[in-house]
Amino acid sequence: MRIVALEDDALQLELFRRAIEGMGHAFRAHLTGAALMKDLRRETFDLLIVDWQLPDTNGPDVVRWVRENVGPNLPILFVTSRHEERDIIEGLGSGADDFMIKPIRVGELTARVTALLRRAYPAVSSATMEFGPYRFIPDSRTLLISGRPVELKNREYDLALFLFQNTGRLLSRDHLREIIWGQSADVISRSLDTHISRLRSQLELRPSNGYIVTAVYGVGYRFEAVSPRPEEAGGDVPAESAAPARSAPTA
C-alpha cells in the first residue's frame, strides 16, 4: 500500500515513516497543504495521514479539498494534538475516517492504519472471485473469461487482479509500478504501458465484456465497469432509434 502523510514536524514524520515502512507499506511525506495538493493531482495513494495545524492551511480544509477533488473513498486519519470534543467532531465532519490524538503511540497508529486499510481494501482470499465474465482463481493463479482459460504471466495476473479489485479508481503510473514490480524496482515507463496493452488485448477489455481500461494523461490509468451498447451486447436496436417508415405516395 502507498501511504502519504501531511505533517510539518520532522520528528513526527520520521516516526510515521518508521511505523509505516515497518508495516511493509510505501511512505511519502509533505510539509505543507499546497505540496500535498499538488502531489495528489498526479499521484494516487491508499491512505492519508493529516495533521491539523499546518504552515499554510489547516487539516479540515485539506480534508475537504481531498473529498471534493480526490473522492470519498481514500481513507483519511487525523493525527493531531487537538483533543477537545468539538475538534473531533469538526475533523470527522470535514470528511476524515478516524481521529488520533498526539502524542503518537506506534502500536495505536499501526492498529488504526491497519483497520482503515482493511475496511477500504478487503484482503485477497483464496476463494474464487468473479467480475462479470471474468473469474479469478487465486489458488492456481488462473483467470477464466466466460469459462475459457487465459494464459497470463505472473506480473500480468497480479496487474489484472489489482485492476479488477480497484475498478473505477484512478491509479497513478508510480502506484501501479510499485504494486507490480515493488517499491525499489527501476522500471521504465514503457514496461507498464506494454503490460496494460497486452492485458487490454488478452482480456478482451471492451464494452461488450463490461470493462475497459483508459489512460489518463499525466496521471496513469483508470479501470472501469461499463454497460455494453445494445448492438455490442447482441440486443435489439431501440425502436425510437430506427429509421421512420416512409409513407406511401398519394395519388
DSSP bridge pairs for 222 = 170, 214
**With 90 as the cut, is the pLDDT of residue 47 above it?**
yes
The backbone region for 182, taken as left when phi is positive above 0, alpha when psi lies in -120 to 50, beta otherwise, is left
Mean local confidence (pLDDT), 33-39: 96
Q: What's the pLDDT score for residue 105?
A: 93
Q: 27 pLDDT band (50/70/90 cuts)?
A: very high
Q: Residue 122: phi, psi to the nearest 5?
A: -55, 140
Q: What's the pLDDT score for residue 238?
A: 43
Q: What's the pLDDT score for residue 192?
A: 87
**With 70 as the cut, is the pLDDT of residue 125 above it?**
no
Find the range with the poorest average confidence among 48-57, 199-208, 227-236.
227-236
- For residue 74, give the 3-state DSSP assignment: coil
Domains within the chain, CATH numbers bracketed: 2-120 (3.40.50.2300), 129-233 (1.10.10.10)
Considering the chain, what percentage of its residues have pLDDT values greater than 70? 86
- For residue 209, give the 3-state DSSP assignment: helix
Q: What is the DSSP letter of 53?
A: B
How far is the C-alpha of 37 from the C-alpha of 52, rounded, in Å? 15
Grid cell in block for residue 181: 514490480
Q: What's the pLDDT score for residue 139?
A: 87
Contacts 24+ apart (CB under 8 A), 115-124: 116/47, 116/75, 116/77, 117/1, 117/46, 117/47, 117/75, 119/75, 120/46, 120/47, 120/73, 120/74, 120/75, 121/1, 121/46, 121/165, 124/161, 124/165
Strands 220-225, 211-216: parallel, antiparallel or unpaired by DSSP? antiparallel
Find the range with the poorest average confidence among 29-38, 138-147, 213-222, 234-243.
234-243
Find the range with the poorest average confidence among 7-11, 20-24, 25-29, 123-127.
123-127
**With 90 as the cut, is the pLDDT of residue 214 above it?**
yes
How far is the C-alpha of 164 from the C-alpha of 132, rounded, in Å? 11
Q: What's the pLDDT score for residue 235?
A: 46
Q: What's the pLDDT score for residue 126?
A: 64
Q: 56 pLDDT band (50/70/90 cuts)?
A: very high
- pLDDT, averaged across the chain: 87
Q: What's the pLDDT score for residue 251?
A: 37
